[in-house]
Structure formats: structure tokens, C-alpha cells
Amino acid sequence: MAGIRRLVLDVLKPHEPSNLLLAKILSELEFVDGVNLSLYEIDQNTENVKITIVGDDMDFDEIKKTIESLGGVIHSVDEVVAGKRIVETVLTEQDR
């Protein structure tokens, strides 16, 4: 296990194709182990979703292409985890 291991993406997308389809297609990428797609805002024509993708040596360009091919746009990459071991962010005195 190495390379990119987890990504958290903020994505804007149209209502169709559905979030079910987007999550399923992302989960079928060869280097992906699992996908969590959470809806956090709905407007008339679009919705904002937070997508967490876990895998091994993940190819960001392919993830991006997959999302765009279904009409989505990545607004920001909120977290990147890389390496032999999954590292969680640590709460420090600066965060209190």
C-alpha cells in the first residue's frame, strides 16, 4: 500500500446522473476500495456533495475524469492522505 490512500473532495454536480450512480461508478475504479458520498446542499439544478474515497495508489486524474464525465466539478480537495499508513489529522493546542 502506498501513494494516495484517501481523498476528501467537495463536488458540485447536477441532480442527474444520481449520487447512487456516481458513488457506484467511483467504487468500481480498479484502485478504489470504498466510497462515501454525502449530500450537504441542494439547489434547484445542482447539489453539493462531499465524497470520501479510500484505496491504494489512487489516480486522481482518473477520479477527476470520472466525476467530470458525469457532469460534476471538483471545487476543492479538502484532504489528501498518502503513504504506507493512513494518518488521521491530530487536534493540537492550536485547534482548541
Report the interface residues with its own copies, using CB under 8 A.
2-6, 8, 10, 18-20, 23-24, 26-28, 32-40, 42, 50, 52-54, 60, 76-90, 92-96
Burial pattern 46-74, b for ≥16 Cβ within 10 A else e, equals: ebebebebbbeebbeeebbebbeebebeb
Cell numbers 441532480 correspond to 15
CB of residue 14 to its own copies, shortest distance in Å: 15
- Give whichever of 8 and 12 is closer to its own copies, judged by the CB atom: 8
CB of residue 68 to its own copies, shortest distance in Å: 16
